[in-house]
Structure 1
Amino acid sequence: MQNIPNILSTTRLLLAPVFLFMYIQDALVWRSLSVAVFAVAAVTDYFDGKIARYYQVESDYGVFVDPLADKFLTFAGFLCLPFLDSSQFPWWAVGVILFRDIVITVLRLYAGRKNLEMKTRITAKIKTMVQMIFLYTVLLLGVFKESDIDFADQAEIFFNTGVLFYGMIIVTVITIYSGIEYLIMNPHLFRQEKRS
Structure 2
Amino acid sequence: MNLPNKITMLRVIMIPFFAFFMLTDVVGNSKYIAVAIFIIASLTDTLDGFIARKYNLVSNFGKFMDPLADKLLVSTALICFVSVPDNPMPVWGVIVIISREFIISGFRLVAANEGIVLAASWWGKIKTTVQMVMSVLLIVNFDGEVIDIIENIFIYAAIALTVISLVDYLIKNWKVLDDGKM
Where on the TM-score scale, by shorter chain, does this alignment land: which range? 0.7 to 0.9
Long gaps (5+) in structure 1: 143-154
The equivalent residue for 1:98 is 98
Conserved? CA contact 2:22–2:34, under 8 Å:
yes
Please, what TM-score do these two structures have when normalized by structure 2?
0.86
Q: Tell me the SS of whatever aligns to 1:180.
A: helix
Alignment coverage as a number of residue pairs: 180
- Return the letter of the residue paired with 1:43: L
Q: Tell me the SS of whatever aligns to 1:65.
A: helix
The equivalent residue for 2:11 is 12
Query: Partners in 1 of 2:79 and 2:100 — Cα distance?
Result: 14
The equivalent residue for 2:65 is 65
**Deviating more after overlay: 79-88 vs 181-190:** 79-88
**Deviating more after overlay: 16-25 vs 156-165:** 156-165
- Runs of 4+ residues deviating >4 angstroms: 158-163
Please, what TM-score do these two structures have when normalized by structure 1?
0.81
Conserved? CA contact 1:130–1:171, under 8 Å:
yes
Structure 1 pair 87–35 and aligned structure 2 pair: CA distance change class (3 A): closer
Match among 154, 159, 163 for residue 167 of structure 1: 154
Percent identity for Structure 1 against Structure 2: 31
* RMSD of Structure 2 on Structure 1 (CA): 2.4
- Give deviations 1:133-192, integer Å, cap 9, x for gaps: 11112212x2xxxxxxxxxxxx21149956534532221111011101111111211213
Conserved? CA contact 1:123–1:178, under 8 Å:
yes
The equivalent residue for 2:164 is 177
The equivalent residue for 1:192 is 179
Long gaps (5+) in structure 2: none
Q: Report the CA distance between 1:86 and its aligned residue.
A: 5.9
Query: Partners in 1 of 2:52 and 2:117 — Cα distance?
Result: 19
**Deviating more after overlay: 26-35 vs 179-188:** 26-35
Structure 1 pair 168–112 and aligned structure 2 pair: CA distance change class (3 A): same
The equivalent residue for 1:89 is 89
Q: Tell me the SS of whatever aligns to 2:143.
A: helix
- Return the letter of the residue paired with 1:78: L
